[in-house]
Amino acid sequence: MTAISERKLRLVRESLILPPRPKPTSSVETAPGRGDHFRPGGQPPIKPTDPKPSVPPTPPPTVDWEAKLAKNPAFQALNPGVQQAVLETLANPDIEDAGKEAIATAVTSPGFALLSTDDADDFLQYEGNTIPGFGAQIRAELAAHLASDEYQHPHVSIFPLEQAVGQKRELLEISRGAEALPGSTPVGGLPPSQRDVTVTGPEDVGEYDFETGSADAERYTFHVDGRDVEVIYPKEHPEDSPSPEELEQLFETLPDMAASEYERIIIEPGKTEASASTTGDGQIRIFPETGRSLERLQSTLVHEAAHNVSDDAFGSPSSVDVDDDLSELSPGWQEWAAAAEADGHSVSDYAYDSVAGNNDDDRRKFGEDFAETVELYYQVRGTPAEAEFARLYPNRYDLIRQTFGDA
């Protein structure tokens, strides 16, 4: 054999050494290991991070009203009994913080210092009421009014006393309901269903003489508590009026005094300034109204039914000219007027204006106060807020319960 040089032998040995094998590639992604978060496309897994412990939000600091008002000269100048009543009102946990701020602003204004002890107490009872959806809205109206130029400068005067007198007058009006909610304002959702209602129809009735114009019409029949209620619609249902399905829901949830009052409902094709009207014969006309909720419509149906009931319960007349004596009212309405006067508060600004005669015909309309008060009564009846209603309107509360047999 031919001898092989050492150099050639080394080269042969080196040529036999294989290069390192590449790592295999595949379209199949490798499953992540325990604790890995899988990412598609062959990307490296993400290691999970330990979640941060949740920290509950820090509640706003509670205002120490006694300490805060101790530094206020206007508050310190009040009668000690009134001071105590203010602090008790502000300590009520059911009053929202913004409402407490409004009350504190009112009681430290110059006009409040001129109120009698009884008037100050009436103001605090009214503004401190905790009827859900009612008290908070009243206090929001109070806050807006206190910030207005009308309250800050009720008279253009260089004399502070005149300004305080103007504020006193406005606080008295506020306490009596001048800044309360608009009429037929619901303070909650629809109540639970009271009854089963079935509906049949529609049936064609041809041309119908609506109050807002003639139109082709159709009839639905609502079967409510064993009796029939006729509902007349224009063939082209008005866009801003309740549908038959919505009326069915309303009849299911109306209180008995309203559900039993109506025999015919007419859905008018045209709008007027009124939301609804009744003639006291079991008939009601509902006019289209943009943005009206079912809750508001139910309040309206209770309001109009209350008019019908009160005509039978209290007689007539239910109104007098602003310059006339209340003895011109029927005996039943004299009793209601006395109850309203004793309670001192109205449930809405519409009720307040009606009793005060702040309207186009300068008449004091106690029937409107009754209907508005009945609306709120039926929204709180059977709830914890009923006791608060009875506290605010004790005399009318008793009369309403007597009238509807709830006493």
State whether 129 and 203 are in the same domain. Answer: no
Q: What is the per-residue pLDDT for 13?
A: 46
Axis-axis angle for helices 117-127, 97-107 (nearest 10):
160
Residues 106 and 170 in one domain: yes
Residue 58 lies in a domain: no
In a domain, 284, yes or no: yes
Global pTM reads 0.76
* 8 confidence band (pLDDT: 50, 70, 90): very low
Structure confidence at residue 190 as a pLDDT band (50, 70, 90): confident
Q: Is residue 52 part of a domain?
A: no
With H, G, I as helix, E, B as strand and everything else as coil, classify residue 198: strand
pLDDT band at 188 (very low <50, low <70, confident <90, very high): low
Examine residue 32 and say whether the peptide bond preceding it is cis (omega within 30 degrees of 0). no
| Full domain range(s) for residue 245 | 197-294
Q: Is the pLDDT of residue 221 over 50?
A: yes
Task: Encode burial over 253-280: b for 16+ CB neighbours within 10 A, e otherwise.
Answer: bbbebbbbbbeebbbbbeeeeebbbbee
In a domain, 48, yes or no: no
**Total domains in the fold of the chain:** 3
Taking alpha carbons only, the member of 23, 42, 24 closest to residue 32 is 42
Lowest-confidence segment of 22-36, 94-108, 300-314 by average pLDDT:
22-36
Place of tokens 């999970």: 48
**pLDDT tens across 139-177, in order?**
998 999 888 877 776 555 555 777 788 889 889 988 888
Asked if 140 and 210 sit in the same domain, the reply is no
- 330 and 285 assigned to the same domain: no
